[in-house]
Amino acid sequence: MEDILKVDTEVSPAEQEPAPKATATSRRSPVLTIESHDAASLPGAEQDALWHEMTNAYLTHRILCGTVDGVERDGLAVIYYKGCRVAIPLTEMVIAQSDAGGRYAGQAQRLERLVNNMMGCQVDFIIRGLDTASRSIVVSRKDAMLRKQRTFYLTPAADGLPQIREGRIVQARVTAVAEKSIRLEVFGVECSVLARDLSWEWICDAHERYTVGDVILVRIRSVDVSNPESIRVEADPRSVTENPLPERLQAVKEQSRYAGQITEVRRGIIYIRLHNGVNAIAHNCLDRRMPAKKDQVSFVVTHINRDQCVAVGIVTRIIRQVL
């Protein structure tokens, strides 16, 4: 079987957290519990242990992972890591600043929209600064992404090839979902996948299949590391699964009528996903109303194109119109 590279793969053995040192609390007598072999901690001990963990992560530059829980007006994204508030400046959330717009005002608005779309997704980060007095933490997602790029794209593995390479199946995080595309983070590199490339059967809206925070399998279609400062990757979620359309077409008969949903209307061509999972194309609609995306329609098959795995026919009427 083909190896699958997981998202939570360790970056390097050096980044593993060192064993915590004994504290004054741990040297005291343990709390006597009612149940045998149970454990209990004194008030404040968990917070002290968490702060000790964060301090070690800061000193060792270890990559941590948390969920984007908020976006504040002062240009900060907020993560609550094990209950500890972590702040990320919006400029440290993405790598490609050129994608954010030309002028500063437009750039700030673009960044805010990008991060708002990432609400609820897991991101990696590296601690940039700690304030022991207020126990506030400032981190950078950009630094973590650059570290992962060096590790998985630019550093050869034992076989002499980078871990992220063409043809390999890896895990990717869904960082944003729109109607016609989704955005993925593939080990420190972000890329977009159009809705038509997400599934073998056509879909109306990417929200039907994906939500922010999902971890999915993708096949690496291509990797461009010619410019180490701007690595590009193309990911293909569809090719990970077998194509079920040829088998489904066996159950479709010519001159038969089937119900389906319009997934797209483009240049006079009506694209339909039949309820039996078959893709269909119609060049004509007999209903007096104009067909539109997401309408439920009745479709008559006049021809089956097995090379393209689509049924060709006519829309006879609109069953239910979505206004």
What the chain holds in terms of domains, given with CATH numbers, is 8-17+44-146 (2.40.50.140), 157-240 (2.40.50.140), 245-320 (2.40.50.140)
| For range 114-119, the mean pLDDT | 89
Q: Tokens representing 61?
A: 């530059």
Long-range contact list for 133-136, CB < 8 A, 24+ apart? 135/51, 135/84, 136/85, 136/87
3-state secondary structure of 214: coil
Smallest CA-to-CA distance from 272 within 311, 306, 316 is with 311
Between 133 and 201, residue with greater pLDDT? 201
Q: How confident is the model at residue 202 (pLDDT cuts 50, 70, 90)?
A: very high
What pLDDT is stored for residue 298 in this prediction? 96
3-state secondary structure of 73: coil
Q: Tokens representing 307?
A: 């090379």
| For range 90-116, the mean pLDDT | 70
State pTM to two decimals.
0.78
Sequence letter at residue 46: E
In this model, does residue 24 exceed pLDDT 50?
A: no
Sequence letter at residue 164: I
How far apart are alpha carbons 313 and 303 in whole angstroms? 6
Between 245 and 4, residue with greater pLDDT? 245
CA angle, residues 306, 309, 315, in degrees to nearest 5:
100
User: What is the phi/psi pair of residue 77, to 5°?
Assistant: -95, 145
In this model, does residue 1 exceed pLDDT 60?
A: no
